Amino acid sequence: MSDTPEEVLRLDGLRKSYNVGQPNEVEVLHGLDLTIGRNDFAALIGPSGSGKSTLLNVIGLLDRPTRGELYLLGQATSGMDDSGRTALRGSSIGFVFQFHHLINAFTAIDNVLMPLMLTHGKPDQQAREKALELLAAVGLEKYANTKPNQLSGGQQQRIAIARALITEPALLLADEPTGNLDTQTAAEVFELFRKVHRDRGCAVLLVTHDPRLSATCDRTINLVDGRIVSDTVNEPG
């Protein structure tokens, strides 16, 4: 994605609180500063409850920060209304979850096309070719017309990755994308993220609990109690 700016994401003093019964506000993210560039293939790690999913949801514009600013592709997002945020999310972010959220009534290719259907209606031939190309990129071209529940967990997660890429996002976010997979399949799916990063030029930020997998990323961001306690470049393995 050659026209993606160098800086994909920037957080400036980002805070997030939850209201747990008025007036009790609990702050979960305590003023985070972070920049993600287009060449980043980064892991977000940290103990359970440290705020990783909260941060990913805020970065993915699924949730709003309480204070601070989040710049996506150079655009400040705090002043945007919901439709502006939805449009920016749709055009610039791909999201892969631990549980793939595929629709079993639809074929693999229709699942991949889903984000485009939501924004553009019925997909044209060009869109279908792109979806097929993505299914080929994740090694599933021959399963285009198969329903997800007839495929393995690893294959289903591959479809979810293809679906996240259909809008050509500048930033691919993944929340424990291998948490539901056995060790071997997890390593293969992780390798697929690496391939996607290399071949498609999108920045990748993924949450993992597995230190062996985070060590294969180029960068490791460690979140503890809602604060970034380390942000390190990993030595190539």
Q: Which is nearer to ligand ATP, 1 or 26 (CB)?
A: 26
Q: Which is nearer to ligand ATP, 34 or 73 (CB)?
A: 34
Q: Does 83 bind ligand ATP (CB under 6 A)?
A: no
Considering only the stretches 51-59, 83-91, 125-133, 137-145, report the one whose residues sit in contact with ligand ATP under the rule CB under 6 A. Answer: 51-59
Report the residue from 49, 74, 84, 211 that binds ligand ATP according to the rule CB under 6 A: 49
H, E, C per residue of the chain? CCCCCCEEEEEEEEEEEEECCCCCEEEEEEEEEEEEECCCEEEEECCCCCCHHHHHHHHCCCCCCCEEEEEECCEECCCCCHHHHHHHHHHHEEEECCCCCCCCCCCHHHHHHHHHHHHHCCCCHHHHHHHHHHHHHCCCHHHCCCCHHHCCHHHHHHHHHHHHHCCCCCEEEEECCCCCCCHHHHHHHHHHHHHHHHHHCCEEEEECCCHHHHCCCCEEEEEECCEEEEEEECCCC
Q: Which is nearer to ligand ATP, 2 or 48 (CB)?
A: 48
Report the residue from 9, 36, 45, 46 that binds ligand ATP according to the rule CB under 6 A: 46
Q: Does 22 bind ligand ATP (CB under 6 A)?
A: no
Q: Does 38 bind ligand ATP (CB under 6 A)?
A: no
Q: Does 58 bind ligand ATP (CB under 6 A)?
A: no
Shortest spacing between CB 130 and ligand ATP, in angstroms:
32
Q: Interface with ligand ATP by CB under 6 A: which residues? A: 18, 20, 28, 46, 48-54
